[in-house]
Structure 1
Amino acid sequence: MTHSFDTRAIHDGQAFDPTTGAVVPPIYQTSTFVQDGIGGFRGGYEYGRSANPTRDSLQTVLASLEGGAAAFSFASGLAAEDALLRAVLTPGSRVVMGNDVYGGTHRLVSRVWAPWGVTLETVDMSDLDAVRATARPGETTVLWVETPSNPLMKITDIAGLAEIGHAAGAIVVVDNTFASPYVQQPLALGADVVVHSTTKYLGGHSDTLGGAVVVNDQALAEKVGFIQFGVGAVSAPMEAWLTIRGIKTLGVRVDRHSENAQAIAEALSEHPAIDRVFYPGLASHPGHELAARQMKRFGGMLSVALAGGPSAARTFAESTEVFQLAESLGGVESLIGYPSEMTHASVKGTELEVPENVIRLSVGIESVDDLLADVHQALSRVS
């Protein structure tokens, strides 16, 4: 029987403990495993870096929810991205990515991989003709897609980009962190790889750090699996268990995140202190129709540009009470951030620089009335 997303989120990789009958499998908080004689591994477990039952449970449910052949869990989202890049890049490789991706992703390639002979080129991924011209056949190794993008919420056509990337002989990677597998299924749309910061919506409670790579191809799975083992940036058992716990409620949480974000986006779009709202759930968003086709919901992330410029943006970000000023996103609590000096500080002075009047909101699952009251009182302080 094929189960629905919400059922798989709760049960896949989560068989009850056969010894005690415990509904929730135990956390295997161990670094090593006793062998039945030399080389006699119980269940294939030898050492915590190579495999752990709790991490395996997380990887099983991640592969299921993304519709992938295999998933790999790492200590952070950037560790996951780096492991994937190690598996596919060599000196002379070329990476093409969006011109408004997460600053840490751009920094990883431009400052860690570029000195090793990897070329990075950025392009507006929402312009398929521009991508086609940039992703030149025989030259491009990776086409890196982020949709919705961080923080300007651009929506890109995953199926169209997959076609372009494959025609160029590139591996098509989609960062699905903002959407989550509940909202968007990149592999089903033709992508080769999905990456996540599981710290965000998958964990969902701002209490764990992690990342994941999900692949469709078995040969690529073997390469990523070897890097996971050989380099060792694996998620710890407790981190894996917390992420599993978060995933169980992913669907119901994202429904609430999306409902709240839609209400806030609509309210802010009519506020005189706001110059522009970046949210794909608004009919005015240039990617609205594509998002409606490609995504199940519009998600809990939105950004706004303050009409009063950088000073107004700073005042707004520092005046909310329910929205807490902090980096990260996707938790049950609402967060507000100033990308220019926080999440995207590393790309100031580059094509990816975020305008200084832009504020990013990670809308939580609190009462929407409280959230609306909070943003309105904060905007009342903006001159």
Structure 2
Amino acid sequence: MTGDGTRAVRAGLPEPVAYEPTMPGPVFAAHYHLPGDAVGPYTYGRDDNPTWTGLERAIGELEAPGEDVHTVAFPSGMGAIAAVLLSGVRSGDTVVLPNDCYQAMPLIRERLESYGVEVRTAPTAGEAQAKHLEGAKLLWIETPSNPGLDVCDIRRLADAAHEAGALVAVDNTLATPLGQRPLELGADFSVASGTKGLTGHGDVLLGYVTCRDRELAAQVKLWRKTSGAILGPMEAWLAHRSLSTLQLRIDRQTATALALAEALRERPEVTGLRYPGLPDDPSHAVAARQMRSGRFGCVVSFTLPDRAYAERFLAALRLVDDATSFGGVRSTAERRGRWGGDDVPEGFVRFSVGAEDPEDLVADVLRALDETAAPTAG
């Protein structure tokens, strides 16, 4: 079996054809020629598109190399999340969600409850969700959690959920398929926002669902068709193109994230530092078992003394954009409390490490911290 870098570079590409491009360009088509009564792979633009096919094949090869899996692409991560949760449960069913997950998930919870679905919640850490599985239809896991970076044991939770008769979906956004393969760990669905680390350039909104079971995939695909939640061919092509550098980006970003976390550990104004790659992080032991090749993600979280302190720090950074989202080649950071919805202190910073030279980025952060502290010195 080939390595991650080789696979990322070649994933989803067609067999070579003389004088044709090695990676076909985007196909812009609302409809296709349909001679006679023949039914081919492409009939109408809301159902399928050759550019989606290449991307979906590529993602499947990364999520489960060498296996027969099915991937369905969406125009955003929330589109993918909604497809799994809203297509798979009915009134009277029970869903278990983490209570420390992505801040838009409460909107999904409200929608589920309005449809008569019972929603139970528990923290990510300590496999706490396992206590709420009795009678559940679906368990939703997010690990590492966003933005708190707690990690849970996917295999243990998946085994417990399946014993209780529940399906398991894992939000794999932060880890990416190079850092974690939920299907190998027992999950039924691997779901992610490809907007972030998967595509990595901050220019594409994308989501996807990958699963082994053909019927589950068909259910998700039918939801895409009936809801009209389809991505454009240009976005699909850009996403596929971006995969070729995935291993290079992820390895650079995770190595730099660890260096930044180690530097922040020495700063007295920094509290609540979290990064699963730190040996003393509460999540390190579990993360080291299930996250691949030491790829613990590009996100470091920490807390500064208060809101004003955090905002001065962000303003002092020169190599880091004050922006939301994460996983891009350009480092970003934000005071997460600005959005509401996350149970974090006012000075909590979510820092997404990019592909800058590690020495330059760490120096910029330490300089910004020094400048931020200067007004209160003496």
Question: Which band: TM-score by shorter chain?
Answer: over 0.9
Counterpart contact for 1:16–1:22, Cα < 8 Å: no
- Structure-1 separation of matches of 2:145 and 2:179: 14
SS at match of 1:29: coil
Q: Residues 267 and 237 (structure 1 numbering): CA distance in 2 closer, same or farther, change over 3 Å? A: same
Shift of 1:141: 1.5
CA contact (8 A) 2:254 2:297 kept: yes
How is 1:1-383 mapped onto 2 (pairs within 5 angstroms)? Answer: 2-15=1-14, 18=17, 20-37=19-36, 39-41=37-39, 43-67=40-64, 69-109=69-109, 111-128=110-127, 130-136=128-134, 138=135, 140-296=136-292, 297-306=295-304, 308-342=305-339, 345=340, 347=341, 352-380=342-370, 381-382=372-373, 383=376
> Secondary structure at 1:213's aligned position in 2?
strand
Matched-pair contact (CA < 8 Å) for 1:31–1:47: yes
Q: Could you report, residue by residue, the CA deviation over 1:92-121 in whole angstroms, capped at 9, with x for unpaired residues?
A: 222212221001123222x22221112222
Instruction: Tell me how far apart the structure 2 counterparts of residues 338 and 119 of structure 1 sit (CA, whole Å).
Output: 32
Letter matched to residue 251 of structure 2:
D
Q: Which runs of 5+ in 1 are unaligned?
A: none
Runs of 4+ in 1 over 3 A off after TM superposition: 16-20
Letter matched to residue 95 of structure 1: V
2-side partners of 1:357 and 1:134: how far apart? 32
Deviations along 1:34-86, one digit per CA (max 9) or x if unpaired, are 2223x435x42111110100001111111111116100000100011111112
Give the TM-score of the pair, scaled to structure 2: 0.93
Aligned-partner Cα distance in 1 for 2:165–2:25:
43
SS of 2:338's partner is coil
User: Which amino acid counterpart does residue 364 of structure 2 have in structure 1?
Assistant: D
How far the C-alpha of 1:326 sits from its partner, in A, is 0.6
C-alpha distance in 2, partners of 1:16/1:239?
22
8 A Cα contact 1:17 1:25, kept in partner: no
Worse-superposed segment, 86-95 or 265-274? 86-95
d(CA) in 2 for partners of 1:218 and 1:23?
29
| Percent identity for Structure 1 against Structure 2 | 38
Q: What are the Cα deviations for residues 198-217 of structure 1, in whole angstroms up to 9, with x where unaligned? A: 11111111111010001121
CA contact (8 A) 2:98 2:129 kept: no
Q: Distance in 1 between matches of 2:333 and 2:51?
A: 33
Give the whole-Å Cα distance in 1 for the aligned partners of 2:211 and 2:119.
22
Distance in 2 of aligned mates of 1:310 and 1:230: 44
Offset at residue 19 of structure 1 (A):
6.8
Q: How far did residue 268 of structure 1 move?
A: 0.3
Residue 17 of structure 1 and its aligned partner are, at CA, apart by: 6.5
Offset at residue 355 of structure 1 (A): 2.1
In structure 2, what is the Cα distance between the partners aligned to 1:379 and 1:132? 40
Distance in 2 between the 1:107 and 1:373 partners? 39
Greater shift, 221-230 or 150-159, is seen at: 221-230
- How big is the shift at 1:12? 2.9
Q: How far off is 1:16 after superposition?
A: 5.4
Measure the CA separation in 2 of the matches of 1:353 and 1:317: 20
Per-residue CA distance 1:314-334 (angstroms, 9 max, x = gap): 222232121100111111000
Gaps (5+ residues) in structure 2? none
Offset of 1:20 from its aligned partner?
Answer: 3.5
Aligned equivalents of 1:266 and 1:322: distance in 2?
19
Deviation string 1:111-152 (CA, Å, 9 cap, x unpaired) is 222211122221122223x3232222x2x1111111111011
Secondary structure of residue in 2 paired with 1:313: helix
Larger helix proportion of the pair: 2
8 Å CA contact 2:124, 2:143 repeated in 1: no
The one-letter amino acid of 2:71's match is: A
Give the RMSD, CA atoms, in angstroms.
Answer: 1.6
| Deviation at residue 7 of structure 1 after TM alignment | 2.4
Q: Provide the aligned length of Structure 1 versus Structure 2.
A: 368
CA distance in structure 2 between the aligned counterparts of 1:224 and 1:275, rounded to whole angstroms? 42
